[in-house]
Amino acid sequence: MRKAHLLICSVLLLFCPPGFAQESSRGGSAKQDAPKVIETDDMKLAMRAGKLETAGQYDEALKVYAQAIDLKGRFTPFVYHNRGMLYLHRAKASQDRQSRIADLHRAIDDFRTSIRLGAASKDELNRGLENVATRANLEEATKLLEKETHR
């Protein structure tokens, strides 16, 4: 599951419309006609945070996600989604009930923000993902939170 949100980043880079994260190259060969990825600062930070998360450096990854969000770039809705996934994974792995509940609340807040900012809209994702990707994660986190709080 950890790699799922990294996959989202990769899929977005491939399928987003040119105005979002890609720029069409102008040239004659098929290789030159392939879209060029315009890496924004928030995208670069999100990718760095994803690598830190994969390496198990969750606290550092959260700091880098926060930096990416502070930039308020075009990739921000997806940064919120990825950070929500980190909180969700951390909650599932936590042995401390209070920490687990706090992380689930954070995950839900991030998923809601991601949806509100448009990360789950078909126009933004442009065939790259189903529009339920963030909504499904929100539902999962909500169910886990309800389970934890009704013990």
pLDDT in tens, 72-107: 988 898 899 899 989 988 988 889 989 988 999 999
* Mean pLDDT of the region 20-29: 43
User: For residue 57, is pLDDT > 70?
Assistant: yes
Burial-class residue 28 by CB neighbours within 10 Å (0-12, 13-18, 19+). exposed
Report pLDDT digits (tens) over 119-145: 765 444 443 444 446 677 778 888 888
Q: What is the structure's pLDDT at 94?
A: 87
Q: How far apart, in whole angstroms, are the C-alpha atoms of residue 94 and residue 88? A: 10
Q: What is the structure's pLDDT at 54?
A: 92
Q: What is the structure's pLDDT at 125?
A: 45
* Mean pLDDT of the region 52-80: 93
User: For residue 61, is pLDDT > 80?
Assistant: yes
Q: What is the structure's pLDDT at 116?
A: 85
- Give the alpha-carbon dihedral of 41, 44, 50, 53, to 10 degrees: -70
Q: The whole model's pTM is what? A: 0.65
User: For residue 45, is pLDDT > 90?
Assistant: yes
Q: What is the structure's pLDDT at 32?
A: 57
CB atoms within 10 A of CB 124: 19
